[in-house]
Amino acid sequence: MIYFDNSATTHPHQDVLSSFQKVADQFYANPSSVHSLGGEADRLLDRSRKQAAQLLNVEPQEVIFTSGGTEGNNMAVKGVALQHQSRGKHIITSAIEHPSVMEAFRALESLGFEVTYINVDRYGKINPDDIQKALRNDTILVSVMSVNNELGTIQPIKEIGNILRAYPKIFFHVDHVQGLGKIDLSIKDSYVDLCTISGHKIHGLKGTGALVVQRHVSLFPLLHGGSQEAEVRAGTENLPGNVAFVKALRLVSENTKEKVQALSGLRETLWQELNNRDYAIINSPEEGAPHILNFSIPGYKPEVIIHALGHENIFISTKSACSSKHPDVSSVLKACNIDYERTTSALRVSFSVHNTVEEVRTFLKILDKTVENLKATMG
C-alpha cells in the first residue's frame, strides 16, 4: 500500500496508541473528582499541559486542549468575535481558509459581523499589505492559516504578525493545522494571539488537539458548563487523548529538520517528474510546504483517477472533501484564478516521513499507466 493522503490524516504512531491505552486504563478517574484517583488524573493533566506548553514555547495556562482543528478554529474565531463585539464587528480572513474557519466567518456574518475576505495570488499567497489596507477602527480579528491544505502554500505569518503588532486590540488567529512540524512558526515571535493545532495530522489521534490562547485574550466559550480548560471548554477532560496528543507533539518536534528535509526530497522528486509529463500541470507553489503537492490532469475527473489508483492500493486525494459546496470545483484553486478545467481536475499528494522515494516512483509508474488507459478508453 502507498498512502499519500497525509494531509487528510496520518497513521497514528504506536507510542501514541500505547500512551492512550495506558492512560485510559490506569487514569480513568475524573480529574475534577476530589478523591486521590481524581487528584492523580488532575496531576497528569497538569503535567501534559506543561509539556505541551514547553514544546510550543508558550505558558501552560495558554494551552487549551480541544478535539482538533475544527473545534480550535471555531473556538478562536467565534470566541473572539462574540467576546469582543462591543469594540467592533469587522473581522478579516483570507479567501482560501479551511471550511472550519470559512464557515465560522460565514456564521458570524449571518449574526451581523462584517467580513473582509483577503484575495490571494495565483499560488494562494496573501500579500501582507492587503491585510494592512483592510484594517479599520472596528476590526477585532484577523485569521490566516499558516499552510493551505490543498496547495501547501505557506502564508507570511510573521510579516502579518508584525503589522498587527501595532494594533494590540486586533487579535491574530493562525490555523496551524497543516503547518505543525512542517514549517517554522514561533507563536510569540510572530505575535500570534491564538493558534490552532490538531493531533491526527501529526501521527496523533483523531479527536485531539489544542488551541493556544495567549494570556491577554479572553474568549466567549462555545461550550458552557463546568470550569474545565480555563472555563472556555466545559466538559470532562479527555485525559488519555490529551496525553496521547502531547506524545504526538513531542514526536513531531524531534529531528524536525531531518524530517522536513526528507519530505522536501519526496516532493522535489515528484515535482521534477510531473513537470516532465505532458498530461500534468502543477498547481502548488514551488516554495510550498514540504509535504503537499497539488496538480491537475485536465480532461480527467479526479475521482476516476483516485479510484483507479485505489485499485492499485495507492491512496491520494482530490481537493479537501469539504472545501466546496460544488462537488467538482476547488474553491481554493478558484480563488487563485486558476482556470475551470484545472480547478475541476486537481489532485493532491501529501506525504509523511514514512513515505519513500521508491513509493513516489511506483506511484508515477502507475499514474502513467492509469492516464494511458483512460486516454485509450476515452479516445
Ligand X SMILES: Cc1ncc(COP(=O)(O)O)c(C=O)c1O
Is residue 195 among the annotated active site residues? no
Bridge partners, residue 223, by sequence: 233
349 binds ligand X (CB under 6 A): no
Considering the complex, state which of residue 84 and residue 182 has its C-beta at the smaller distance from ligand X: 182
**Cα–Cα distance, 93 to 116 (Å, whole number):** 6
Among 178, 242, 330, 344, binds ligand X (CB under 6 A): 178
Which residues inside 106-145 make contact with ligand X, applying CB under 6 A? 145
Q: Please, what is the minimum distance in Å from the beta carbon of residue 37 to ligand X?
A: 30
Residue 144 in 3-state DSSP?
Answer: strand
Catalytic one of 166, 322, 327, 369: 322
Considering the complex, state which of residue 190 and residue 198 has its C-beta at the smaller distance from ligand X: 198
Instruction: Give the C-alpha distances (Å, rounded to integers) separating 221 from 55, 218, 227.
Output: 25, 9, 11
Considering the complex, state which of residue 280 and residue 333 has its C-beta at the smaller distance from ligand X: 333
Task: Tell me how many degrees the CA angle 199-201-204 measures, rounded to the nearest 5.
Answer: 40
Q: Which stretch binds ligand X (CB under 6 A): 121-129, 157-165, 172-180, 211-219?
A: 172-180
Considering the complex, state which of residue 210 and residue 308 has its C-beta at the smaller distance from ligand X: 210
**Cα–Cα distance, 266 to 151 (Å, whole number):** 16
Q: How would you write 36-98 as a 3-class SS string?
A: HHHHHHHHHHHHHHHHHHHHHCCCHHHEEEECCHHHHHHHHHHHHHHHHHHHCCEEEEECCCC
User: Which position's Cβ is nearest ligand X?
Assistant: 69
198 binds ligand X (CB under 6 A): yes
Among 78, 84, 98, 247, binds ligand X (CB under 6 A): 98
Edge-first strand order for the sheet with 194-198 is: 63-66, 209-213, 194-198, 171-175, 139-145, 90-94, 114-118
Number of residues forming the site for ligand X (CB under 6 A): 14
**Cα–Cα distance, 61 to 58 (Å, whole number):** 9
Among 19, 70, 139, 344, binds ligand X (CB under 6 A): 70
Task: Tell me how many degrees the CA angle 196-78-137 measures, rounded to the nearest 5.
Answer: 105
Q: x/- contact string, 274-313, with ligand X (CB under 6 A)?
A: ----------------------------------------
69 binds ligand X (CB under 6 A): yes
Among 63, 151, 177, 347, binds ligand X (CB under 6 A): 177
100 binds ligand X (CB under 6 A): yes
242 binds ligand X (CB under 6 A): no
**Which amino acid, one-letter code, is at 154?**
I
The answer to whether 95 touches 121, Cβ cutoff 8 Å, is no
**Cα–Cα distance, 282 to 296 (Å, whole number):** 6
The enclosing H or E element of 177 equals none
The answer to whether 237 touches 29, Cβ cutoff 8 Å, is no
Considering the complex, state which of residue 100 and residue 355 has its C-beta at the smaller distance from ligand X: 100
Considering the complex, state which of residue 145 and residue 308 has its C-beta at the smaller distance from ligand X: 145
The answer to whether 246 touches 63, Cβ cutoff 8 Å, is no
Q: Please, what is the minimum distance in Å from the beta carbon of residue 233 to ligand X?
A: 15
Q: x/- contact string, 199-238, with ligand X (CB under 6 A)?
A: -x--------x-----------------------------
Question: Which residues of the shown chain bind ligand X in the complex (CB under 6 A)?
Answer: 68-70, 73, 98, 100, 145, 149, 175, 177-178, 198, 200, 209
Positions annotated as catalytic residues are: 322
